[in-house]
Amino acid sequence: MTTLITIFLVLGLSVLFTAGLRTASGTDLADHITNPQQRPVLGGSDPKTHAWQRFHVRYYTMTLVLVAFEMEMMFMYPWAVVFVEEGPKALAEMGMFLTILSVGILYGWREGIFRWE
Amino acid sequence: MAKLASQAPVPVFVAQGDDAPAETARLCLNSTLTIVETPRAAAILLVAGTIPASLIPNLHRLHDQLPHPRATVFWQAEPTDLLSEAVTVRNDDNLVSVLTDTRSSLLSGSHGTEADLLPDAPPNEWRGVGSHGQGGKGMMGGTPYGRPMAMTAADFRDGLELDAYTADFGPFLPMFPPGLVLTLTLQGDVIQKVSVVHLPFAGEGNAGAALLRLLGLPALAKRLLRGPSDDADFKRLIRLSGVRAAIPPGLGCAPIGSDVRERFERLTTDPGNPSKVHVDGVGLGDLLIGLEWHEAMLVLNSFDDESLRAICANTSSPELEEKNGDSMDHEGHAGHMS
């Protein structure tokens, strides 16, 4: 019961706090933001196009390598514990897991991420 | 509350014009002022020096980006037609006391906030080509918020076609030399194309302090602005900060002859005598294309005013050539609605 009261108390306090913040910043929220104020800050210049754009995340191959190697290690620690009990079954499972991950590594290899630049 | 607020440092955004007073750069040394990096954080727009007619629309756009309550102060400059009610400071007035008084009266309400100068309407109608406003060129079609979507263009690094962002930057951008307006095309933050719209103003230049600020050392920048650069302590602090290593080696070198590191060392140790660079036939395109934004800013701020103006003049710039070819009686407010 005490736990329940504490939860509701914290919930109530956070609602009050949020409401207080919203009221305090009420003047800002109520203000109409005009079109000239919506411009991006370019030092007085005007953008020719909308700023919503797609660009290439060039670090994605590095992310792939991190996932391939790091995730492998994260799984290996708990696996090492159960390997003693499970034996060959656990070994087969790890083999399957490593096979799937190595496809990602092979793809990365093909993309040239292991080439030093 | 207003009384308490008026005791805080006055947030000022400086729009530097041609022939700006030499004291403009040293305003940041005054503890009663905070020179802010964006108009969104400012209460007062300080216009220092004459703004050329072609840049007045830019000043008006900048003015409208200040939050309310706001005021404009013209320092050794004539107010523009639309800002004729603004405060004017002459040579013999005390600028700092005018700024603090203006801020106090803004907060107390005795000085009313300045209204927007530009119309509260999007630059274009938010409609696509379809009968219901849908469709059109670009990523999604239409012109959301009155601006067309970016079109795809090949990235010069590998030919990958993604959205190229083109915009004019300057003339009152804190990381740009005052007066410089560039049209830059970016893919991500890599510069793909550059052309010059307006040359930087000629002035005494504070490239050393600008570089130190860009490199995240504002205290050392202030120290450089304050005084004798042959100070041994200052040189030791620069060395200890490791800032030299933060500048990529060879940056902005070819075909000038010296790189940003070398020019930085000269600017911080002997600011009155910047290293001479060979600018014959060198354009901004040779220096900036392929650089990321922060590298490009370091390169731009590493030159003395004279060299930078020469480099900008060498840069192919259709807009600048067009302007020079035109008669001088161009309309000052052209482009307001753009």
Is B173 inside a domain boundary? no
Question: What total of structural domains would you count in chain B?
Answer: 3
- Which of A37, A41, A50 lies closest to B145 in CB terms? A50
Q: Which residues of B touch A47 (CB under 8 A)?
A: 147, 167-168
User: Quick check: is B196 in a domain?
Assistant: no
Q: Looking at the domain assignment, is residue A73 inside a domain?
A: yes
CB B80 within 8 A of CB B60: yes
Q: Residue B179 domain-assigned?
A: no
Nearest alpha carbon to residue A56 among B157, B174, B80, B118: B157
Number of domains in chain A: 1
Supply the CATH number for residue B26's domain.
Answer: 3.40.50.12280
Mark yes or no for CB contact B188/A36 under 8 Å: no
The answer to whether A37 faces chain B, any CB pair under 8 Å, is yes
| CB-CB contact of B181 with A45 (8 Å) | yes
- What is the residue range of A115's domain? 54-117
What range defines the domain where residue B26 resides? 2-108
Q: Yes or no: say if B6 and B109 are a contact pair by the CB < 8 Å rule.
A: no
Residues of B in contact with A50 (CB under 8 A): 143-145, 147-150
The answer to whether residue B317 sits within a structural domain is yes
Q: Nearest by CB to B188, which of A44, A50, A55?
A: A55
Q: Are residues B85 and B63 part of one domain?
A: yes
To the nearest 10 degrees (0 to 180), the angle between helices B207-214 and B260-269 is 120
**Residue A61: left if φ>0, alpha if ψ -120 to 50, beta else—which one?**
alpha
The closest CB to that of A49, out of B38, B122, B165, belongs to: B165
Q: What is the pTM of this model?
A: 0.80
Residue B195 resides in a domain? no
ipTM: 0.76
- CB contact residues (below 8 A), chain A span 7-36, against chain B: 31, 34-36
Query: Do B95 and B126 fall into the same domain?
Result: no
User: How many other CB atoms are there within 10 angstroms of residue B232's CB atom?
Assistant: 7
Residues B92-144 pLDDT 10s: 678 999 999 999 999 988 888 999 999 988 877 776 667 766 666 655 666 77
Classify residue A100: in a domain, yes or no. Answer: yes
Residue A46 lies inside a defined structural domain of this protein: no
B214 shares its domain with B326: yes
Does residue B59 share a domain with residue B100? yes
Express each pLDDT in B277-330 by its tens digit: 778 888 899 899 999 999 999 999 998 888 899 999 988 777 666 655 554 343
